[in-house]
Amino acid sequence: MSEPILSGHRLKKHFPVRGGFFGRAAGTLRAVDGVDLEVMPGETLGIVGESGCGKSTLGRVALGLLPPTSGEVRFEGRDINRMGRSARKTLRGDMQIVFQDPVGSLDPRMTVRQTVTEGLLIHDVSSRREREQRVVEMLGRVGLDSTCLDRYPHEFSGGQRQRIGIARALVLRPRFLVADEPVSALDVSVQSQVLNLLVELKNEMRLTYLFIAHNLAVVGYISDRVAVMYLGTVVEQAPSALLYERPLHPYTMALLSAVPQAHASGRRKPIVLQGDVPSPVDPPSGCRFRTRCPIAQQVCADVEPPLVEHAPGHLAACHFPGESMPNAAVRAIG
C-alpha cells in the first residue's frame, strides 16, 4: 500500500468570534473540528456538505493557506506548517487551488496572459520564451486558443473564466489540486464541460484532487471516495459507489434523497430535515446532527458518536448507522 500524498490528523480550525462591548472574544467558531484526512496519490477525494460546514476552511488548511488551530497536515510525509521558506515555495508549486467564483477569483485588470503567467514568474520559470510556451500550451489544454491571451476576464463567459482559473492553477504542473466548488456557479451544460475537463486533466497530468462541492451527485461522479461533512466534522466517508448504495448516516441519506434524479425510476421521496443547521459557535452536545436527525435518541444527546469503520473503507459517526427513516420524515411528494 502506498503512502498518502496528503494527510491530516485531528485537524481543527477555530476562529475567535468577537462581539459585545470592546470587541471582546465572545466565543469560538469551530469551522473545522477534528477531521482526519488521507488522500492517496492519483486519487480524487470528494468533500460534500452544506454551506458553512467547513469545506473551504478544510481545503485551505490542507493547502497550508491557513494554519490549523491544532493537528498537522503532511504533504508527502512532511509537515507543511513547519517548512523552511524554500521548501514552502516548492510546495506552493506542487499544491494549487481552483475557486468557485470564476468572476471574483480573477483579477479584472490582468489579461489572461498575465493571470496565467503570474505563477511561473513567482516560481522563477526562467526564460520568457519558456513561460510563453507553457502558458499557450496550458490554455490549449483547457480549450482556449491563443487569441484569448491579451483579453480581460470580463470578455469571457462563466465557463471560460473557470477554464482560465484552471489553467492558472495547473500551469505550474502541480501534483495536488484543491477544487473548491469549481462548477457550482455554472449552468448545467457548462458544468458538464468543466467536469469532463477536470477528469481529462487529472488523467493526463496524473493529478490528485481534493474536490469540494455541495452537490452529492457531482462529488460522487468525479470522486473515488467521498467524505460527508456536517458542522465541522466528517460524519460519513466511503468509496462513492458504497456511499450511494448503502448510506449509513441519516444526514447522508437526506442529502442523497435531495439529489437530482432526473429519471422517474430513480426518483426518491425526499427526506425533509427540520430546522436549520445550528451555529458552529455553539454546536449541539453529543452528535452534532441530533437536533435535525429524524431517528435521534437520548444517547445521541449524551454521547458523541465516534467515526467508526463499518465495512472496509466505509466510516460513519452515528449511534444507529443504516437505520431506516421514519415515514414522517419522508415526504410523499408528487
Partner 1 sequence: MTSPLLRVANLRTWFHVGARTAKAVDGVSFGIAEGRTLGLIGESGCGKSVTALSVMGLIDSPGRLEEGSSIEYAGRQLVGMPEREIRTIRGSEIGMIFQEPMSSLNPVYTVGAQIAEAFRAHRDVSRGEARTRAIEMLRLVGIANPEKRVDSFPHEMSGGMRQRVMIASALACEPKLLIADEPTTALDVTIQAQIIALIDELRERLNMAVLLITHDLGVVGQVADEVAVMYAGRIVETGSVDDLFENPQHPYTEALLASIPRIGMSRDRPLKVVGGTVPSPFAWPPACRFADRCEYAFDRCHREEPGLFQVGTQRSACWLCEGGTREASHRMVEPTVRTSP
**Residues binding partner 1 (CB under 8 A):** 44, 50-51, 157, 187-189, 191-193, 195-196, 199, 214-218, 220-222, 240-241, 244-247, 253-274, 276-277, 292, 322, 324-325, 330-331, 333-334
Nearer to ligand SF4, 71 or 280 (CB): 280
Query: Residues 39-68 vs ligand ADP: string with x where CB under 6 A?
Result: ----------x-xxxxxxx-----------
Pairing assessment for the beta strands 208-213 and 44-48 based on DSSP bridges: parallel
Query: Residues 284-303 vs ligand SF4: string with x where CB under 6 A?
Result: ---x-xx--x-xx---x---
Choose the contact partner of 256 out of partner 1, Mg ion, ligand ADP, none; CB within 5 to 8 A by kind. partner 1
56 binding Mg ion? (CB under 5 A) = yes
Look at residues 102, 130, 99 and name the one whose alpha carbon lies nearest to residue 117: 130
> How far apart (Å, rounded) are the C-alpha atoms in residues 88 and 71?
18
> With contacts defined by CB under 6 A, how many residues of the chain interact with ligand ADP?
12
Half-sphere exposure of 287 (CA within 13 A, CB side): 27
User: In sequence order, what E strands does the chain have?
Assistant: 6-19, 24-39, 44-48, 70-75, 78-79, 95-98, 176-180, 208-213, 225-230, 233-239, 308-311, 314-316
> How far apart (Å, rounded) are the C-alpha atoms in residues 119 and 92?
9
Choose the contact partner of 247 out of partner 1, Mg ion, ligand ADP, none; CB within 5 to 8 A by kind. partner 1
Q: Which residue has the cell 492553477?
A: 169
> How far apart (Å, rounded) are the C-alpha atoms in residues 329 and 167?
44
Number of CB atoms found within 10 A of residue 145's CB: 9
The one segment of 82-90, 212-220, 273-281, 283-291 that binds ligand SF4 by CB under 6 A: 283-291
Min dist. Cβ of residue 218 to ligand SF4 (A): 24
Q: Which three cell numbers stand for residue 264?
A: 422517474
The one segment of 12-20, 43-51, 114-122, 312-320 that binds ligand SF4 by CB under 6 A: 312-320
Choose the contact partner of 56 out of partner 1, ligand SF4, Mg ion, none; CB within 5 to 8 A by kind. Mg ion
> How far apart (Å, rounded) are the C-alpha atoms in residues 164 and 144?
8
Binding stretches for ligand SF4 (CB under 6 A) = 249-250, 287, 289-290, 293, 295-296, 300, 305, 318-320
In the complex, the residues that contact ligand ADP under the rule CB under 6 A are: 15, 29, 31, 49, 51-57, 280
